[in-house]
Amino acid sequence: MTDKPLSPLEGLKKRSNYLRGTLVESLVDPLTGALREDDTQLSKFHGFYQQDDRDVRAERTRRKLEPAYQFMVRVRIPGGIATPKQWLELDRLATTHGNGTLRLTTRQAFQFHGVLKGALKPVIRGINDVLLSTIAACGDVTRNVMCAPLAELSDVHEAAYGMATALSQYLAPKTRAYHEIWLDGEKIAGPDHEPIYGETYMPRKFKITLAVPPSNDVDVFAHDLGFIAIEKGGQLAGFDVVVGGGMGATHGEPATYPRVGDVIGFCTLEQTLAVALHVAGIQRDFGDRSERKHARLKYTIDDRGVDWFKAELDRRLGFPLALPEPFEFKTRGDRFGWQPARDGRWHLTLFVPAGRVRDTEKHRVLTGLRELARIHQGDFRLTPNQNLIVANIPDAERARVEELLDAHGVQRLQSGSPLKLQALACVALPTCGLAMAEAERYLPELTDKLEALLERHGLTEEAISLRVSGCPNGCSRPYLAEIALVGKAVGRYNLFLGGDALGHRMNRLAEENVGEARILETLDRLFAGFVAQRTPGESFGDFTNRSVFREEDA
């Protein structure tokens, strides 16, 4: 704990009467498309961010108009599995009230962009109508619980997914404010309450993910709390527990940094909810509430030590956590195209560039998937790599599915290098208020240029992970990529190199504040060196890790 004064947001949370604030008044103010300032913080707990179209911000100010305020609404959907009915409703809401696109995020959530204030209520209501929610999709609470979307061992996956859903439910805020404001729920008579969090919730966001080896597609070391599924005899026996991962950092502030989580033990299935509750509880009680840039679990652990953390957890659990079980990750990216499920049905994984589901002239992906949802008998799964799995298609339906997708120009057989197919980018400009540089809009151009370089060096088939982030907060988990660009200013990035291919080891800052030409020049040189000097089976990340940072490693 600290003697420093609480951050202003802590006071705001405390005053908000369990997240009510003046949201109702903000929503009905017809003079502005914005919320009152305090409500822009509280809105996050309800699942949406106030943003504006930054492309037109300056011009609108000249025109004596306020910024083009709009909202990003995020759906809480544990494990990223949606039924066709849910897909159709989300599609309808995006088409009617959003900007006509659905964004699949790196944390397996759906995002709507461009929602105007007046449409917030219908959108949130529509989402709830199909048994999804937006509560705690953002804010200082337990965010969307991720889970590996597909695994070789279906039973293990099914059980892990069940646990993800249970965790999501268990750790969701219990305030009635959400129902009151969005679903016209009756106002409760007495005071509200929040049994797990209390009235000030968490010090900062709290992220949970579940990995199912051999895939680390969820990047289990990048979250506050990770669970690695341990299989015994074909069944899910429990989880190895990972704590203290996190990607966020701030340029020029060495006290802020990304961190990979520590594996601290093993819990059985029965112990899992209790472990999650108490990890969150320790962070709730010991997390730094005076400095928001120092408020994630990773800092709490670093400040007090992993041993302290384990002891505190054991004390709260009432038993010592068992020693970790061995596990092995072999992949991190998605496998595109058809894969058989165990029961004779099929999964089809589609590449969605930067996770943006939309119609373009050639590829009418939004429409194609809408038509598909009308006939699909299985479900839809969002991958942590921003792609989409059309899951559990009966064998007899395969031809029809292919026909339908082809008719809308939705590509099934992905062309392009592995680099392009597993590249990630956050949303960034023009809507994200934090963005310092382009990410999603820049990714296609960047991958084209990198593919040309790879081709020149005969590296086209090399699966190198590339991640672009518009700011150092790291929504695209850039610090776990082999090549990462982290935005500094429009057209300027910090270049990070040397992460491993599976998400165990973070990359390092190789060049600061550089433009595209310099980045391409550097990579061109490194690709050449890689071809000439790589050891057998060595990945590009391992190569750069040993070659680029020789001086600082010496």
Partner 1 sequence: MAAVPNAKIEPPLPGANLQALREVVADFDYDQLLWASGYLAGLARSGVGAAVAAPQPAAAAGADAWTVFYASETGNARRVANALAEKARAAGLAVDIQDLADYKPKALAKVANAVFVVPTHGIGEPPDGSELFFEFWLGERAPRLEQLRYSVLALGDSSYADFCVMGQRLDERLRALGATPVVERIDCDVDFEAPAGEWTEKVLAHATESATALATPVIRSAHLHAVPKTAAPTRERPHHAEILVDQPITGLGSSKDVRHIELDLEGSGIAYLPGDSLGIVPQNPVPLVEALLETVKLDGAAEVTVNGEAMALATALAGHKEITVLSRPLVETVAQRHEALRSVLSDRERLTGFFATRQVIDLFADYPLEWQPQPLVDSLRRLTPRLYSIASSPDANPEEAHLTVSIVRYDLYGRAHWGAASNFLAGGAETVPVYLEANERFRLPADGDVPVVMVGAGTGVAPYRAFVEHRAEHGHTGDNWLVYGDRCFATDFLYQLEWLRWRKEGVLTHMDVAFSRDGADKVYVQHRLREQSRRLYDWLERGAHLYVCGDAERMAGDVHQALLDVVRKEGGMSEERAQEYVAGLKTQKRYQRDVY
**Strand pairing class (466-469; 483-489):** parallel
Q: Identify the CA nearest to 422 among candidates 539, 288, 324.
A: 539
Whether the upstream peptide bond of residue 430 has omega within 30° of 0, thus cis, is yes
Judged by CB, which is closer to partner 1: 5, or 118?
118
Judged by CB, which is closer to partner 1: 126, or 198?
126
The CB-side HSE value for 348 (13 A sphere, CA atoms) comes to: 22
Measured from the CB of residue 63, what is the shortest distance to partner 1 in angstroms? 5
Does the active-site annotation cover 546? no
Judged by CB, which is closer to partner 1: 34, or 348?
34
Amino acid letter, residue 400 = R
C-alpha triplet 84, 90, 92: angle, nearest 5°: 100
Handedness of CA 183, 184, 187, 188 (dihedral sign): negative
Measured from the CB of residue 61, what is the shortest distance to partner 1 in angstroms? 7
Q: How many CB atoms lie within 10 A of CB 160?
A: 25
At residue 427, φ and ψ (nearest 5 deg) are -70, -50
C-alpha triplet 363, 382, 364: angle, nearest 5°: 10
Q: Identify the CA nearest to 224 among candidates 270, 276, 148.
A: 276
Does the active-site annotation cover 267? no
- Look up residue 494 and give its two tokens: 């910090």
- The alpha-helical segments, DSSP class H, found in 297-442 are 297-304, 306-317, 365-375, 398-407, 418-421
Does the active-site annotation cover 138? no
Q: Which of 207, 332, 381, 420 is catalytic?
A: 207
Measured from the CB of residue 360, what is the shortest distance to partner 1 in angstroms? 21
Whether the upstream peptide bond of residue 214 has omega within 30° of 0, thus cis, is yes
Q: Which of 147, 298, 475, 477 is catalytic?
A: 475
Tell me the sheet residues that pair with 259: 246
Measured from the CB of residue 32, what is the shortest distance to partner 1 in angstroms? 6
Q: Which of 74, 332, 370, 488 is catalytic?
A: 74
Given a contact cutoff of 8 angstroms between Cβ atoms, the answer to whether 141 and 205 are in contact is yes
DSSP string, 123-167: HHHHHHHTT-B-TTSSSSSB-PPEE-S--SSHHHHHHHHHHHHHH
Tell me the sheet residues that pair with 183: none
Residues of the shown chain interacting with partner 1 in the complex, contacts defined by CB under 8 A: 30-33, 56, 59-66, 68, 116, 118
Measured from the CB of residue 425, what is the shortest distance to partner 1 in angstroms? 26
Measured from the CB of residue 100, what is the shortest distance to partner 1 in angstroms? 15
Does the active-site annotation cover 426? yes
Q: Identify the CA nearest to 6 among candidates 294, 279, 270.
A: 294
Measured from the CB of residue 430, what is the shortest distance to partner 1 in angstroms? 13
Judged by CB, which is closer to partner 1: 55, or 553?
55
Q: Which of 20, 143, 204, 332 is catalytic?
A: 143
Q: Which of 138, 147, 267, 471 is catalytic?
A: 471
How far are the Cα atoms of 46, 207, 208, 365, 474 from residue 248, in angstroms, in the given order? 22, 12, 15, 32, 5
Distance (Å, rounded) from C-alpha 256 to C-alpha 354?
A: 27
Distance (Å, rounded) from C-alpha 241 to C-alpha 277?
A: 13
Q: Which of 432, 477, 488, 505 is catalytic?
A: 432
At residue 467, φ and ψ (nearest 5 deg) are -135, 135
Amino acid letter, residue 485 = L
At residue 525, φ and ψ (nearest 5 deg) are -65, -45
Judged by CB, which is closer to partner 1: 63, or 550?
63
Given a contact cutoff of 8 angstroms between Cβ atoms, the answer to whether 26 and 16 are in contact is no
Judged by CB, which is closer to partner 1: 71, or 110?
71
Q: Which of 76, 205, 289, 370 is catalytic?
A: 205
Measured from the CB of residue 29, what is the shortest distance to partner 1 in angstroms? 10
Judged by CB, which is closer to partner 1: 2, or 32?
32
Does the active-site annotation cover 449? no
Judged by CB, which is closer to partner 1: 60, or 504?
60
- Look up residue 100 and give its two tokens: 């006509």
Distance (Å, rounded) from C-alpha 266 to C-alpha 272?
A: 9
DSSP string, 356-379: EE-B-SS-BHHHHHHHHHHH-SSE
Measured from the CB of residue 65, what is the shortest distance to partner 1 in angstroms? 5
Does the active-site annotation cover 147? no
Measured from the CB of residue 64, what is the shortest distance to partner 1 in angstroms? 5
Judged by CB, which is closer to partner 1: 17, or 61?
61
Judged by CB, which is closer to partner 1: 55, or 455?
55
Q: Which residues are catalytic?
A: 74, 143, 205, 207, 426, 432, 471, 475
